[in-house]
Amino acid sequence: MCPSDLPAFVNDVVGDSALAGSVWGVLVMETSNNTVLAELNADQFFVPASNNKLLTTAAALIELSSEFTISTPVSLCDNGMGTSIVCIAGQGDATMVHDDLAALAATISQTVDGGQVILQADDTLMQGFPTAWEWQDLMDTDGALPVSFVVDENYLSFVVAPASDVGGTPTVTNNATTTFPTVNDATTVSGNPSTPLSVSYALDDSRTVVVSGEITLGSAAQTFILPALGPTRNFLSLLASYLRTTNNVTDLTTGSCSAGAVPRSLQPPVQTHAPLQSCQPLTTLRSLPFSASMDWCLKQSDNLYAELFLRQLGLQVAGSAAYDTSITTVKKVMGARLPSVNSSLFYQADGSGLSRHNLVSPRSLVQTLTAMAATDEAANYLSFLPIAGVDGTLADRYVGTPAEGILHAKTGSMTGVNSLSGWVFPRHYDAPIVFAILSNDASASATVVRRAIDRIGVALAELTDECDQQRHDEHRPKPSRRRPEPPRRREPGHGQAKGQGRGKGQKKRGHHD
């Protein structure tokens, strides 16, 4: 593909009759001298879906660094009543898993040898969720609450197995340590189910789980993942389940980890305890570094991680993890650390892209990618992106095409929205290519739209300067085509794997990657 042929090719792809009604924004640029190779509605605003994560992670990475870690302090407090109170001040560590709580329980047990314990959580640092989210987002794992306490990404797994006879009620088990009232209207059938099996929260009571649909006799159990709608209670209940093997846990409470705080029960019967008289440091829980957690976030398009990166940025820079403050902080950091990014060309309503109120232009994404390439975190940022046909959300795309292995980009999709932005390192072109492709208002299926996006991606991978050799020789130097080698890094230790949560065919409307 000759660079001079690229604009007409892009217009032909997006102008296909199968894509009628959709609106497209495209910007393709050569990085050696910022030459625009193709441009379509580059300054127009689009809903980006998960391409919004590029803005959030760029600001957090350049301001806090890839080695930044989160420290969660744990205190041993006394209220003069003879019961030890262990208080954890949640900091929004998204990498915490069951094993971390088991280790904490062991530390507590060694300190409070066989005695009574009240577990207390200070969850005031990060509360609530983006006001731009829809209620249905909170009912799905895409909208797991980005708050002070997180364990296993605030997911709960529910396993539904068929009964032993036709017409019987399937059994339901879960990995939660709290009791969920369950309305089980599901049925075991002899043939193929006429109604798919589903597990959800009741609309009128978010603590009640509703199981409905049909499951075939003798078939394998099905696993569903729901977000934990009470993250603080879930955290303390899990910690208590480990600690109860050695200690008598008498209550789960919330309150500040400081003298004078009044612990208040999280579970019935709700009661208050005597005020804390003193607190001393017991231990500190440390997160994985951003180099691990951001890699997971961008490759797997993890919303919870992105939201907590946003809130951590606000906390560290502006002293507040409130959403309004954190969103404003992204633009402030861009202005100070990445001044070539025009912050008027994007608007964030959250950190992940789950909200449809996020608006970005193709130019803002290209500017961000280009600016990050000139920083000390360039190699890390590149390595975090999915690689075509290799890993992350691009593992199954571009396989066997010229783009396989040389296109590094962030995906994004929700109903009517598809996006892809990143870098390509063409084998027969002397400079890397940076690009942003966004499609909105598509009535065609996501498969059709992605096929169009991927045609453009393949064309970028096939760019050659042989047909324009004279122009290149005259107007630009010959930079090295070697891209930075990403460092080896470990994956964050997750509990329940994502993607197990929905039964077959249960992908939610508006889900995005």
Joined together, the tokens standing for residue 370 give 């280009």
pLDDT at position 512 is 54
pLDDT tens column, 146-202: 999 999 999 888 999 999 999 999 999 887 766 678 899 999 999 999 999 999 888
Query: What band does 482 get if pLDDT is binned at 50, 70 and 90?
Result: very low
Please write the tens of the pLDDT for every residue from 373-422.
Answer: 999 999 999 999 999 999 999 999 999 999 999 999 999 999 999 999 99
Coil, helix or strand for 349?
coil
Beta carbons within 8 Å of 466's beta carbon, 6+ residues apart: 428
In DSSP terms, 277 is beta-bridged to none
Give the residue with greater pLDDT, 209 vs 486.
Answer: 209
Q: Which residue from 350, 292, 337 is spatially nearest to 138, judged by alpha carbons?
A: 350
Buried b vs exposed e over 166-203: b needs ≥16 C-beta within 10 Å?
A: eeeebbbebbbbbeeeeeeebbbbeeebeeebbbbbee
Instruction: Give the helix/strand (H/E) hosting 104.
Output: helix 98-111
What pLDDT band is residue 497 in, cutting at 50, 70 and 90? very low
Please indicate whether residue 339 or residue 489 has the higher confidence score (pLDDT): 339
Give the Cα separation of 73 and 405 in Å (integer): 42
Query: Dihedrals φ, ψ of 380, to 5°?
Result: -65, -50
Model confidence pLDDT, tens digit, residues 56-80:
999 999 999 999 999 999 999 999 8
Calpha distance 498→41 (Å, rounded): 35
pLDDT above 90 coverage of the chain, percent: 74
Least confident of 52-56, 85-89, 484-488: 484-488
* pLDDT per position as a tens digit, 120-144: 999 999 998 888 988 778 777 777 8
d(CA 460, CA 453): 11
204: pLDDT strictly greater than 80:
no
- Report how far residue 79's alpha carbon sits from residue 77's, in angstroms, rounded to the nearest whole number: 7
Distance CA 253, CA 239 (A): 13
Helix (H) or strand (E) holding 106: helix 98-111
Report DSSP letters for 143-203, one per residue: G---SS--SGGGEEEEEEE--SSTTPPPEEEES-SS---EEE--EEESSS-SS--EEEEET
Evaluate if residue 472 carries a pLDDT over 70: no
Is 493:95 a contact under the CB 8 Å cutoff? yes
Q: Looking up tokens 């403050």, which residue turns up?
A: 325
Instruction: Give CA–CA dist 133/358, Å, rounded.
Output: 11
Predicted pLDDT of residue 491: 43
Which domains are seen in the chain, by residue range? 3-68+289-475 (3.40.710.10), 71-130+232-286 (3.50.80.20), 155-227 (no CATH)
d(CA 339, CA 370): 11
Provide the pLDDT for residue 178: 67
Looking up tokens 């569903």 gives 224
User: Hunting for tokens 């794997």 — which residue is that?
Assistant: 497
Structure letter (DSSP) for residue 435: E
- The least confident of 46-55, 380-389, 445-454, 493-502 is 493-502
How many residues comprise the chain? 513
Q: pLDDT, tens digit, for every residue of 251-284?
A: 999 999 999 999 999 877 788 889 999 999 999 9
Is 509:404 a contact under the CB 8 Å cutoff? no
Residue 507 has pLDDT above 80, yes or no: no
C-alpha to C-alpha distance for 62 and 48, rounded to whole angstroms: 21
Strand 264-265's sheet: what is its strand order? Answer: 264-265, 248-254, 116-122, 84-89, 71-78, 278-286
Mean pLDDT of the chain, nearest integer: 89
Output the pTM of the full model.
0.87
Q: pLDDT-derived band of residue 469, with 50, 70 and 90 as boundaries?
A: low
Token duo for residue 252: 């789960």
The CA distance from 74 to 243, in Å, is 15
What b/e readout covers 128-147, taking b as 16+ CB neighbours within 10 angstroms? Answer: ebbebbeeebbbbbbbbbbb
pLDDT, average across residues 85-104:
95
